Structure 1
Amino acid sequence: MTPPHLPGQVAIPALPEQPRVPPTASALPAFNGAPEADLRGRLLDCLHSPRWTERVAAHRPYPDLDSLLAAADEAAYDLTPAELSLALAAETLPALPPDTYEAAYTALDAARAAYEARFGHAFVISLAAIRPNERLDHVLTAIRSRLANDPEEERAVAAEELRGLARERLRRLLGGPDRATCPTSFT
Protein backbone atom coordinates (compact mmCIF):
# COMPACT_ATOMS: atom_id res chain seq x y z
CA MET A 1 0.00 0.00 0.00
CA THR A 2 1.40 3.36 -0.99
CA PRO A 3 1.25 5.85 1.87
CA PRO A 4 -0.72 9.04 1.21
CA HIS A 5 1.08 12.19 0.14
CA LEU A 6 1.51 14.68 2.95
CA PRO A 7 0.03 18.08 2.24
CA GLY A 8 1.76 21.17 3.52
CA GLN A 9 5.37 22.03 3.87
CA VAL A 10 7.86 20.42 6.17
CA ALA A 11 11.53 20.55 5.32
CA ILE A 12 13.17 17.22 6.02
CA PRO A 13 16.17 16.96 3.75
CA ALA A 14 16.74 13.42 2.57
CA LEU A 15 20.49 13.12 2.99
CA PRO A 16 22.06 9.70 2.79
CA GLU A 17 24.31 8.77 5.66
CA GLN A 18 27.85 9.50 4.52
CA PRO A 19 31.03 10.71 6.16
CA ARG A 20 31.83 14.38 5.81
CA VAL A 21 34.20 15.06 2.96
CA PRO A 22 35.58 18.39 1.85
CA PRO A 23 34.40 19.88 -1.44
CA THR A 24 36.42 18.96 -4.48
CA ALA A 25 39.37 21.21 -5.26
CA SER A 26 37.80 22.44 -8.51
CA ALA A 27 34.35 23.20 -7.08
CA LEU A 28 35.08 26.57 -5.48
CA PRO A 29 36.79 28.08 -8.56
CA ALA A 30 33.85 26.84 -10.65
CA PHE A 31 31.44 28.43 -8.15
CA ASN A 32 33.40 31.68 -8.19
CA GLY A 33 33.48 31.76 -11.99
CA ALA A 34 29.94 30.58 -12.71
CA PRO A 35 27.75 32.88 -14.81
CA GLU A 36 25.65 35.15 -12.60
CA ALA A 37 22.25 33.87 -13.80
CA ASP A 38 23.28 30.23 -13.44
CA LEU A 39 24.69 30.80 -9.98
CA ARG A 40 21.63 32.69 -8.75
CA GLY A 41 19.35 29.83 -9.75
CA ARG A 42 21.52 27.34 -7.89
CA LEU A 43 21.74 29.55 -4.82
CA LEU A 44 17.96 29.93 -4.72
CA ASP A 45 17.84 26.14 -4.36
CA CYS A 46 19.96 26.51 -1.22
CA LEU A 47 17.82 29.25 0.37
CA HIS A 48 14.85 30.75 -1.41
CA SER A 49 15.64 34.40 -0.82
CA PRO A 50 16.52 36.67 -3.74
CA ARG A 51 18.40 39.12 -1.50
CA TRP A 52 20.38 36.33 0.20
CA THR A 53 21.21 34.92 -3.24
CA GLU A 54 22.31 38.31 -4.52
CA ARG A 55 24.51 38.97 -1.51
CA VAL A 56 26.21 35.56 -1.65
CA ALA A 57 26.78 35.88 -5.41
CA ALA A 58 28.00 39.49 -5.19
CA HIS A 59 30.81 38.71 -2.74
CA ARG A 60 32.59 36.31 -5.06
CA PRO A 61 35.32 35.22 -5.36
CA TYR A 62 35.58 33.27 -2.12
CA PRO A 63 39.06 32.09 -1.14
CA ASP A 64 37.75 28.99 0.63
CA LEU A 65 34.59 27.16 1.73
CA ASP A 66 34.68 28.68 5.22
CA SER A 67 34.57 32.18 3.73
CA LEU A 68 31.60 31.24 1.55
CA LEU A 69 29.73 29.71 4.49
CA ALA A 70 30.46 32.75 6.68
CA ALA A 71 29.14 35.08 3.98
CA ALA A 72 26.04 32.90 3.56
CA ASP A 73 25.42 32.97 7.32
CA GLU A 74 25.84 36.73 7.47
CA ALA A 75 23.43 37.23 4.57
CA ALA A 76 20.90 34.91 6.22
CA TYR A 77 21.07 36.82 9.51
CA ASP A 78 19.98 39.95 7.65
CA LEU A 79 16.75 38.49 6.24
CA THR A 80 13.73 40.66 6.92
CA PRO A 81 10.60 39.00 8.33
CA ALA A 82 9.05 39.06 4.83
CA GLU A 83 12.17 37.47 3.31
CA LEU A 84 12.21 34.83 6.02
CA SER A 85 8.54 34.10 5.30
CA LEU A 86 9.33 33.71 1.59
CA ALA A 87 12.20 31.33 2.35
CA LEU A 88 10.05 29.29 4.75
CA ALA A 89 7.24 29.08 2.18
CA ALA A 90 9.61 27.50 -0.34
CA GLU A 91 10.54 24.58 1.93
CA THR A 92 8.81 21.31 1.09
CA LEU A 93 8.65 17.78 2.39
CA PRO A 94 10.70 15.26 0.45
CA ALA A 95 9.32 11.77 0.06
CA LEU A 96 9.54 9.54 3.08
CA PRO A 97 11.08 6.11 2.51
CA PRO A 98 8.67 3.72 0.76
CA ASP A 99 8.59 1.36 3.74
CA THR A 100 7.34 4.08 6.12
CA TYR A 101 4.23 3.06 8.00
CA GLU A 102 1.01 4.88 7.20
CA ALA A 103 0.75 5.80 10.88
CA ALA A 104 3.99 7.76 10.54
CA TYR A 105 2.47 9.82 7.74
CA THR A 106 -0.58 10.48 9.89
CA ALA A 107 1.50 11.49 12.91
CA LEU A 108 3.76 13.74 10.86
CA ASP A 109 0.84 15.36 9.08
CA ALA A 110 -0.96 16.05 12.37
CA ALA A 111 2.18 17.50 13.97
CA ARG A 112 2.88 19.62 10.90
CA ALA A 113 -0.68 20.93 10.82
CA ALA A 114 -0.53 21.87 14.51
CA TYR A 115 2.80 23.62 13.98
CA GLU A 116 1.62 25.58 10.94
CA ALA A 117 -1.61 26.55 12.69
CA ARG A 118 0.33 27.86 15.68
CA PHE A 119 3.15 29.65 13.86
CA GLY A 120 1.80 30.35 10.37
CA HIS A 121 4.84 29.01 8.53
CA ALA A 122 6.44 25.74 7.51
CA PHE A 123 8.37 23.63 9.98
CA VAL A 124 12.05 23.40 9.04
CA ILE A 125 14.82 21.36 10.56
CA SER A 126 18.32 20.42 9.51
CA LEU A 127 18.87 16.69 9.78
CA ALA A 128 22.41 16.48 8.46
CA ALA A 129 23.75 14.97 11.69
CA ILE A 130 20.82 12.56 12.19
CA ARG A 131 20.99 8.97 10.96
CA PRO A 132 18.39 8.28 8.23
CA ASN A 133 16.57 5.65 10.30
CA GLU A 134 16.20 8.15 13.18
CA ARG A 135 14.99 11.15 11.18
CA LEU A 136 11.25 10.62 11.40
CA ASP A 137 11.36 10.21 15.19
CA HIS A 138 13.69 13.21 15.47
CA VAL A 139 11.35 15.38 13.39
CA LEU A 140 8.26 14.37 15.34
CA THR A 141 10.04 15.02 18.64
CA ALA A 142 11.31 18.39 17.41
CA ILE A 143 7.90 19.54 16.16
CA ARG A 144 6.25 18.60 19.44
CA SER A 145 9.00 20.29 21.44
CA ARG A 146 8.99 23.46 19.35
CA LEU A 147 5.21 23.77 19.62
CA ALA A 148 5.89 24.98 23.18
CA ASN A 149 7.89 27.97 21.90
CA ASP A 150 6.33 31.40 21.71
CA PRO A 151 5.96 32.65 18.10
CA GLU A 152 8.90 35.08 18.27
CA GLU A 153 11.21 32.47 19.75
CA GLU A 154 10.12 29.89 17.16
CA ARG A 155 10.72 32.29 14.30
CA ALA A 156 14.31 32.65 15.51
CA VAL A 157 14.67 28.86 15.76
CA ALA A 158 13.24 28.42 12.25
CA ALA A 159 15.64 31.06 10.90
CA GLU A 160 18.58 29.23 12.48
CA GLU A 161 17.41 25.92 10.98
CA LEU A 162 17.16 27.59 7.55
CA ARG A 163 20.75 28.81 7.93
CA GLY A 164 21.80 25.24 8.70
CA LEU A 165 19.91 23.93 5.68
CA ALA A 166 21.51 26.58 3.45
CA ARG A 167 24.97 25.62 4.70
CA GLU A 168 24.37 21.92 3.97
CA ARG A 169 22.97 22.71 0.55
CA LEU A 170 25.97 24.93 -0.25
CA ARG A 171 28.30 22.10 0.75
CA ARG A 172 26.44 19.74 -1.58
CA LEU A 173 26.46 22.35 -4.33
CA LEU A 174 30.25 22.40 -4.09
CA GLY A 175 30.51 18.64 -4.33
CA GLY A 176 30.29 17.67 -0.69
CA PRO A 177 28.89 14.44 0.74
CA ASP A 178 25.59 14.45 -1.16
CA ARG A 179 26.81 15.55 -4.58
CA ALA A 180 25.49 12.44 -6.33
CA THR A 181 21.91 13.43 -5.49
CA CYS A 182 22.38 17.17 -5.87
CA PRO A 183 21.54 18.07 -9.48
CA THR A 184 23.02 21.53 -9.07
CA SER A 185 26.52 20.37 -8.14
CA PHE A 186 29.45 22.24 -9.69
CA THR A 187 31.59 19.10 -9.90
Structure 2
Amino acid sequence: MTNQPTASTADTGALEALAAAPAAELRETLLEICSSPRWAEAVEAARPWRDRPALLAANAAAMAVLTADDLADAMAGHARIGTPKAGDATSEREQAGIRGADTALLDELHEANAAYEAKFGHVFLICATGRTAGTMLASLRERFPNDAATESEIVRGELRKINDIRINRLLDGPQASA
Protein backbone atom coordinates (compact mmCIF):
# COMPACT_ATOMS: atom_id res chain seq x y z
CA MET A 1 0.00 0.00 0.00
CA THR A 2 2.14 2.86 -1.22
CA ASN A 3 0.36 6.14 -1.64
CA GLN A 4 1.87 7.73 -4.75
CA PRO A 5 -0.21 10.60 -6.14
CA THR A 6 0.70 11.90 -9.56
CA ALA A 7 3.14 14.78 -9.80
CA SER A 8 1.78 18.31 -9.87
CA THR A 9 3.20 21.80 -9.91
CA ALA A 10 2.68 22.08 -6.14
CA ASP A 11 4.39 18.71 -5.75
CA THR A 12 7.42 19.91 -7.71
CA GLY A 13 7.68 23.10 -5.65
CA ALA A 14 7.45 21.27 -2.33
CA LEU A 15 9.98 18.68 -3.46
CA GLU A 16 12.41 21.36 -4.69
CA ALA A 17 12.08 23.27 -1.41
CA LEU A 18 12.72 20.09 0.58
CA ALA A 19 15.72 19.16 -1.56
CA ALA A 20 17.16 22.67 -1.20
CA ALA A 21 16.65 22.88 2.57
CA PRO A 22 19.76 23.41 4.68
CA ALA A 23 21.08 20.13 6.09
CA ALA A 24 19.97 20.81 9.69
CA GLU A 25 16.46 21.82 8.61
CA LEU A 26 16.14 18.81 6.30
CA ARG A 27 17.35 16.47 9.03
CA GLU A 28 14.76 17.86 11.46
CA THR A 29 12.01 17.39 8.87
CA LEU A 30 13.12 13.87 8.05
CA LEU A 31 13.29 12.91 11.73
CA GLU A 32 9.67 14.05 12.08
CA ILE A 33 8.81 11.51 9.38
CA CYS A 34 10.92 8.72 10.87
CA SER A 35 12.86 8.94 14.13
CA SER A 36 15.73 6.74 12.93
CA PRO A 37 18.85 8.89 12.43
CA ARG A 38 20.27 6.31 10.01
CA TRP A 39 17.09 6.47 7.91
CA ALA A 40 17.26 10.28 7.83
CA GLU A 41 20.94 10.17 6.78
CA ALA A 42 20.20 7.71 3.96
CA VAL A 43 17.25 9.70 2.61
CA GLU A 44 19.22 12.94 2.82
CA ALA A 45 22.15 11.33 0.97
CA ALA A 46 19.82 10.49 -1.92
CA ARG A 47 18.94 14.12 -2.63
CA PRO A 48 18.20 15.85 -4.85
CA TRP A 49 15.20 13.70 -5.66
CA ARG A 50 14.00 14.20 -9.21
CA ASP A 51 10.36 13.57 -8.34
CA ARG A 52 8.02 12.16 -5.70
CA PRO A 53 8.62 8.52 -6.72
CA ALA A 54 12.37 9.08 -6.32
CA LEU A 55 11.88 10.36 -2.76
CA LEU A 56 9.60 7.43 -1.97
CA ALA A 57 12.22 5.10 -3.46
CA ALA A 58 14.83 6.70 -1.18
CA ASN A 59 12.52 5.89 1.74
CA ALA A 60 12.22 2.26 0.63
CA ALA A 61 15.97 1.91 0.09
CA ALA A 62 16.74 3.44 3.48
CA MET A 63 14.21 1.19 5.23
CA ALA A 64 15.68 -1.90 3.55
CA VAL A 65 19.09 -1.45 5.17
CA LEU A 66 18.12 -0.49 8.71
CA THR A 67 19.59 -2.69 11.42
CA ALA A 68 17.61 -3.95 14.41
CA ASP A 69 18.88 -0.96 16.42
CA ASP A 70 17.85 1.43 13.64
CA LEU A 71 14.38 -0.14 13.55
CA ALA A 72 14.17 0.37 17.33
CA ASP A 73 15.03 4.05 16.79
CA ALA A 74 12.27 4.28 14.17
CA MET A 75 9.71 2.58 16.40
CA ALA A 76 10.56 4.89 19.30
CA GLY A 77 8.79 7.68 17.42
CA HIS A 78 5.47 5.84 17.38
CA ALA A 79 2.74 5.74 19.99
CA ARG A 80 1.28 2.47 21.20
CA ILE A 81 -1.66 1.44 19.02
CA GLY A 82 -4.83 2.45 20.80
CA THR A 83 -3.20 5.29 22.71
CA PRO A 84 -2.13 8.09 20.36
CA LYS A 85 0.19 10.69 21.87
CA ALA A 86 -1.98 13.45 23.31
CA GLY A 87 -1.44 16.72 21.48
CA ASP A 88 0.49 15.03 18.66
CA ALA A 89 -1.57 15.75 15.55
CA THR A 90 0.25 13.11 13.49
CA SER A 91 -0.30 10.37 16.07
CA GLU A 92 -3.94 11.34 16.55
CA ARG A 93 -4.59 11.51 12.79
CA GLU A 94 -2.89 8.19 12.08
CA GLN A 95 -4.84 6.45 14.84
CA ALA A 96 -8.18 8.12 14.11
CA GLY A 97 -9.71 4.65 13.71
CA ILE A 98 -9.78 4.15 17.46
CA ARG A 99 -12.10 7.12 17.99
CA GLY A 100 -15.49 5.93 19.08
CA ALA A 101 -14.36 2.37 19.77
CA ASP A 102 -16.06 0.90 22.80
CA THR A 103 -14.17 0.53 26.05
CA ALA A 104 -14.19 -3.28 25.95
CA LEU A 105 -12.50 -3.28 22.53
CA LEU A 106 -9.92 -0.73 23.68
CA ASP A 107 -9.25 -2.85 26.78
CA GLU A 108 -8.68 -5.90 24.54
CA LEU A 109 -6.33 -3.87 22.38
CA HIS A 110 -4.43 -2.71 25.46
CA GLU A 111 -4.07 -6.30 26.75
CA ALA A 112 -2.99 -7.60 23.34
CA ASN A 113 -0.45 -4.77 23.06
CA ALA A 114 0.99 -5.66 26.46
CA ALA A 115 1.36 -9.33 25.47
CA TYR A 116 2.96 -8.36 22.15
CA GLU A 117 5.41 -5.99 23.86
CA ALA A 118 6.33 -8.66 26.40
CA LYS A 119 7.02 -11.15 23.58
CA PHE A 120 8.83 -8.91 21.10
CA GLY A 121 10.27 -6.17 23.31
CA HIS A 122 8.75 -3.28 21.34
CA VAL A 123 5.42 -1.69 20.51
CA PHE A 124 3.13 -3.33 17.99
CA LEU A 125 3.63 -1.27 14.87
CA ILE A 126 1.15 -1.13 12.01
CA CYS A 127 0.23 1.46 9.45
CA ALA A 128 -2.95 2.49 11.27
CA THR A 129 -4.15 5.01 8.68
CA GLY A 130 -7.63 3.98 7.56
CA ARG A 131 -7.87 1.09 10.04
CA THR A 132 -10.42 0.68 12.80
CA ALA A 133 -9.59 -0.41 16.34
CA GLY A 134 -11.11 -3.80 15.50
CA THR A 135 -8.97 -4.35 12.41
CA MET A 136 -5.84 -3.28 14.28
CA LEU A 137 -6.64 -5.75 17.06
CA ALA A 138 -7.24 -8.50 14.50
CA SER A 139 -3.88 -7.74 12.85
CA LEU A 140 -2.12 -7.76 16.20
CA ARG A 141 -3.59 -11.17 17.02
CA GLU A 142 -2.71 -12.47 13.56
CA ARG A 143 0.92 -11.35 13.90
CA PHE A 144 1.41 -12.43 17.53
CA PRO A 145 2.42 -16.03 16.65
CA ASN A 146 5.25 -14.78 14.39
CA ASP A 147 8.86 -15.34 15.33
CA ALA A 148 11.02 -12.28 15.99
CA ALA A 149 12.72 -12.31 12.56
CA THR A 150 9.42 -12.48 10.69
CA GLU A 151 7.90 -9.76 12.82
CA SER A 152 10.93 -7.53 12.32
CA GLU A 153 10.47 -7.66 8.55
CA ILE A 154 6.75 -6.94 8.85
CA VAL A 155 7.56 -3.94 11.08
CA ARG A 156 10.07 -2.74 8.46
CA GLY A 157 7.33 -2.84 5.81
CA GLU A 158 4.81 -1.10 8.04
CA LEU A 159 7.32 1.66 8.81
CA ARG A 160 7.93 2.13 5.09
CA LYS A 161 4.18 2.54 4.50
CA ILE A 162 3.89 5.04 7.35
CA ASN A 163 6.88 7.00 6.00
CA ASP A 164 5.35 7.00 2.51
CA ILE A 165 2.15 8.49 3.89
CA ARG A 166 4.05 11.10 5.90
CA ILE A 167 6.24 12.03 2.91
CA ASN A 168 3.18 12.39 0.69
CA ARG A 169 1.45 14.60 3.29
CA LEU A 170 4.57 16.76 3.47
CA LEU A 171 4.71 17.13 -0.31
CA ASP A 172 0.97 17.75 -0.57
CA GLY A 173 1.32 20.69 1.82
CA PRO A 174 -1.34 22.45 3.88
CA GLN A 175 -4.23 21.15 1.77
CA ALA A 176 -3.46 17.66 3.14
CA SER A 177 -4.05 18.65 6.77
CA ALA A 178 -7.44 16.95 7.02
1:89 aligns with 2:76: yes
Q: Partner of 2:49: helix, strand, or coil?
A: coil
**Contact 2:15–2:51, Cα closer than 8 Å, also in 1:** yes
**Which residue pairs with 1:72 in the alignment?**
59
Judge which range, 22-31 or 148-157, deviates more: 22-31
User: Structure 2: which amino acid aligns with 1:136?
Assistant: A
Report the TM-score, using the length of structure 2 for normalisation. Answer: 0.80
1:149 equivalent to 2:146? Answer yes
Residues 21 and 176, structure 1, Cα contact 8 Å, conserved in 2? no
Q: SS of the residue aligned with 1:124?
A: coil
Q: Which runs of 5+ in 2 are unaligned?
A: 85-91
Deviations 1:88-131 (A, max 9, x none): 12211425555332212211101111111111111111134x3x
1:49 pairs with one of 36, 47, 52 = 36
Q: Report whether the alignment pairs 1:159 with 2:156.
A: yes
Is 66-75 or 34-43 further displaced after alignment?
34-43
Q: Aligned in 2, Cα 1:142/1:98: closer, same or farther, shift over 3 Å? A: closer
CA separation in 2, counterparts of 1:62 and 1:80? Answer: 24
Gaps of 5+ in 1: 1-18, 182-187
- State the superposition RMSD in angstroms: 2.2
Give aligned-pair identity as a percent: 37
Q: Rate the CA distance shift 1:170–1:102 in 2: closer, same or farther, 3 A.
A: same
* Number of residue-to-residue matches in the alignment: 159
In structure 1, which of residues 162, 169, 172 is the aligned counterpart of residue 166 of structure 2? 169
Counting helix residues as a fraction of each chain, which structure ranks higher? 2
Whose relative contact order is higher, 1 or 2, with alpha carbons under 8 Å and at least 6 apart?
1
Contact 1:20 1:177 in 2 (8 A): no
The residue number in structure 2 matching 1:113 is 114
